[in-house]
Amino acid sequence: MKRYSIPAMFAALAILVSPACADNHAENTPQFIRTASAASFDTDFTEAAENTVNTVVCIKSFTSQRQNPYGNGGGGYDPFGMFDFFFGPQERQQPRQQQRNSEPVQSGLGSGVILSDDGYIVTNNHVIDGADKLEVLLNDNSTYEARVIGTDEATDLALIKIDAEKLTPITFGDSEAVKIGEWVLAVGNPFGFNSTVTAGIVSAKARSISQNTRSGKMGIESFIQTDAALNPGNSGGALVNLKGELIGINSAIYSNTGSYTGFSFAIPTTIVKKVMTDLRQYGTVQRAVLGCTVTELDAKLAKDKGITAIKAGLLVRDVNDRSTAKELGLMENDVITAINNVEVHNFPQLVEQLNKFRPGDQITVTYYRDNKKYTKSGTLRNTQGNTTITKKSDFSEIGCAFMKLGDETKRRLGISSGVKVAGLKGGAFRDAGIKDGFIITDINGRSVNTSDDVEMIYNQIMKSEGEDKVMFITGLYPTGKKYYYAVNLSQE
């Protein structure tokens, strides 16, 4: 059977149905007119798919205890109330005999993207969070155990490593060059179906899916929105252009059920590249801040403030001391419109630009004051107001161990909780004046009974985006005398 291209088929159809072909009165009969001779765009996805499938891996997470790490009844991680991060399908309840076995069991499924031929892989933090064991399955069915190099909860990214050689790494593209309406492919492992490719277009850029975009947090607020079908197991997989270049890491879907219903969201490569470099080089993300509180400019605000020169930007509310904004001379009611000549009309765009830099980097800020345009340069700082490289937080740096208290000791001292400081050496606790034998009853208003309790509070403090990382400790010495200490965990 002969095949026709679409334009050729229309031409053939015109010949078949035109009365001109049946008689000699062509001049009195209407004719089909072909208005286009070729397709206006290329929708051949095969090359991009072939270039990508071998760079995307399946990641299986295993835990020793049968519990949902997010504590939400198996419904998936839902940080914003209406958006589900798509963690993999949970295993069904295991028989009691198997539950008593200490061997880790599979608790989740996700995807990852190979960054280097020696085994570095990027994925989502929520894919590997809480796992006791990680298993990576390549497209050729090779299986490796992975170790975590670093994680960043704020951007939901993680870097893991497998001991392998001569892998096929992904080619990075420029997410800022991506255009709305451009065709993209999503590659991952939905529901455990390895190397699945779906297609869609870029629906929007710099999309915020947080209900609190003005909180000042430096997490990811600037997603690439697509309509490529994604489902549980796609999380951490690749979003690529038609050249097969990585433009984003798939991270979230718009869903009330946990399955695809129309929109999905990817972390742009401008952020992915910088976070991965930081995690590999420093073990933690070097996060720069401008040091001011802003509000998105709208028509009402512009009218109230008498702003006529511009219609969009970030209105400065207040400026922090020891900040880049202070150095630049920014003032209340200034309107920021660009960072390094890249326009920022809303908060997500501002966060995306700042996430590209580290403390110590020079940036240029364009802003308006009294309807006049200004451009100034300054040095970015961290949340502590300096340019010091942030070290990976390590619980051992507090400089002591903790011993569990016996019931008799608790009764004698009249306390219901507490852990005893032991083996004190150089570190944050000794610097705060704490001595061996001190009994901690609570930290930041939370009771502690084990070393794990102290470590959990420590990790929460270190992961927070607040400027002050302090443990406010209440306790007493064996004599019964009560003391209060403030332990500074900031790394100057």
Residue with tokens 């994925």, as numbered in its chain: 123
Predicted local distance difference test score (pLDDT) of residue 446:
93
* Residue 76 · residue 82 · CB < 8 Å: no
Distances (CA, A) of 164 to 57, 114, 120, 255: 13, 11, 9, 36
**Catalytic one of 126, 129, 255, 323:** 126
**How do residues 320-377 score in pLDDT, each as one tens digit?**
999 999 999 999 999 999 999 999 999 988 988 998 899 999 999 999 999 999 999 9
From CA 32, how far away is CA 121, in angstroms rounded? 56
String of DSSP letters for 145-160: EEEEEEEETTTTEEEE
From CA 398, how far away is CA 396, in angstroms rounded? 5
Of 135, 142, 140, residue with least CA distance to 104: 135
Token pair of 115, please?
């960054």
User: For the chain, which ranges sit under pLDDT 50?
Assistant: 1-40, 66-100, 211-217, 492
From CA 292, how far away is CA 316, in angstroms rounded? 7
Predicted local distance difference test score (pLDDT) of residue 77:
35
Give the contacts of 68 (CB within 8 A, at least 6 positions apart).
74, 90
| CB contact burial 19-38 (16+ within 10 A = b; e otherwise) | ebeeeeeeeeeeeeeeeeee
Predicted local distance difference test score (pLDDT) of residue 64:
78
**Catalytic one of 84, 156, 278, 453:** 156
* Residue 253 · residue 264 · CB < 8 Å: yes
Q: Check if 156 is active-site.
A: yes
* Residue 487 · residue 434 · CB < 8 Å: yes
**Catalytic one of 111, 235, 264, 323:** 235
Q: Check if 132 is active-site.
A: no
Which secondary structure element, helix H or strand E, spans residue 325, and what is its range? helix 324-328
Predicted local distance difference test score (pLDDT) of residue 34:
43
Predicted local distance difference test score (pLDDT) of residue 136:
96
Of 149, 387, 148, 111, residue with least CA distance to 277: 149
From CA 344, how far away is CA 356, in angstroms rounded? 14
**How do residues 96-139 score in pLDDT, each as one tens digit?**
444 445 677 888 899 999 999 999 999 999 999 988 899 999 99
Distances (CA, A) of 81 to 77, 208, 254: 9, 14, 11
Give the contacts of 212 (CB within 8 A, at least 6 positions apart).
none
Do the strands 171-172 and 245-254 form a parallel or antiparallel pair, or are they unpaired?
parallel
Give the contacts of 434 (CB within 8 A, at least 6 positions apart).
400, 421, 424, 473, 485, 487
Predicted local distance difference test score (pLDDT) of residue 258:
67
Give the contacts of 217 (CB within 8 A, at least 6 positions apart).
154, 465
Predicted local distance difference test score (pLDDT) of residue 396:
78
DSSP state of 409: H
From CA 169, how far away is CA 258, in angstroms rounded? 30
Does this model's pTM top 0.85? My answer is no
